[in-house]
């Protein structure tokens, strides 16, 4: 399940966001920047961006629009992948640039319907027409546990104490 407006149960996202916030010890403050982005302030005044992707199922769906490189001056942020379950949660932290690279690798691998945006149990009929997958703004790509775990970082690397 994705996190962009109109694509996700907002209660599910709110629960996932609260899980991420519970991991942000050492932050001087945290607030929502966009629908699916948290921004934190370190005690020394530095900012950290964390994109939040929440699911209650076996996979995370990520909009192609989020895969495109950001044209910003500040360094890349982080991406938190949260899976909510009845008995608790799983949460993975990944560097934003590494997630974007993984999204393109998954798409380039061409592994059936999971590799192209727009699949709902079958291949996207227009997939062959999309020269640049990132150009399909409405498309989504699926990340599995293996994809996300390969990118996992320790929360200490986020370093909110400076």
Write the pLDDT tens digit of every residue in 67-92: 766 655 555 789 999 999 999 999 99
Distance between CA atoms of residues 97 and 111, nearest Å? 22
Which three-class secondary structure state does DSSP give residue 105?
A: helix
Output b/e per residue, 133-144; b: 16+ Cβ within 10 A: bbebeebbbbbe
Distance of CA 3 to the CA centre of its chain: 8
Contact between 161 and 120 under an 8 Å Cβ cutoff? The reply is no
Q: How many CB atoms lie within 10 A of CB 81?
A: 26
Q: Is residue 1 part of a domain?
A: no
pTM: 0.74
Specify the length of the chain in residues: 162
Please check whether residue 15 lies inside any domain of the structure.
Answer: yes
Residue 37 lies in a domain: yes
Residue 4 forms part of a structural domain: no
Domain hosting 28: range is 10-158
In a domain, 5, yes or no: no
Q: Assess if residue 3 is contained within a domain.
A: no
- 149 lies in some domain: yes
How many domains does the structure of the chain reveal?
1
Q: Does residue 2 belong to any structural domain of this protein? A: no
Q: CA–CA separation, 151 vs 131, rounded Å? A: 27
- Digit-by-digit pLDDT tens for the chain (162 residues) are 444 434 457 889 999 999 998 888 778 888 887 778 898 888 888 888 899 999 999 999 988 777 766 655 555 789 999 999 999 999 999 998 899 889 888 877 754 444 444 433 334 433 333 334 444 445 888 999 999 999 999 988 887 766
């Amino acid at each position: 399940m994705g996190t962009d407006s109109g694509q996700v149960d907002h209660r599910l996202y709110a629960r996932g966001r609260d899980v991420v916030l519970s991991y942000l010890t050492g932050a001087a403050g945290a607030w929502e920047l966009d629908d699916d982005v948290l921004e934190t302030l370190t005690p020394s005044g530095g900012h950290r961006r964390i994109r939040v992707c929440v699911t209650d199922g076996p996979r995370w769906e990520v909009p192609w629009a989020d895969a495109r490189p950001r044209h910003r001056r500040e360094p890349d942020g982080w991406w938190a992948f949260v899976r909510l379950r009845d008995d608790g949660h799983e949460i993975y932290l990944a560097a934003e640039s590494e997630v974007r690279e993984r999204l393109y690798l998954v798409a380039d691998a061409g592994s059936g319907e999971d590799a192209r945006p727009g699949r709902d149990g079958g291949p996207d009929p227009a997939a062959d027409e999309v020269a640049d997958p990132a150009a399909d703004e409405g498309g989504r790509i699926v990340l599995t546990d293996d994809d996300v775990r390969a990118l996992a970082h320790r929360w200490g690397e986020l370093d909110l104490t400076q």
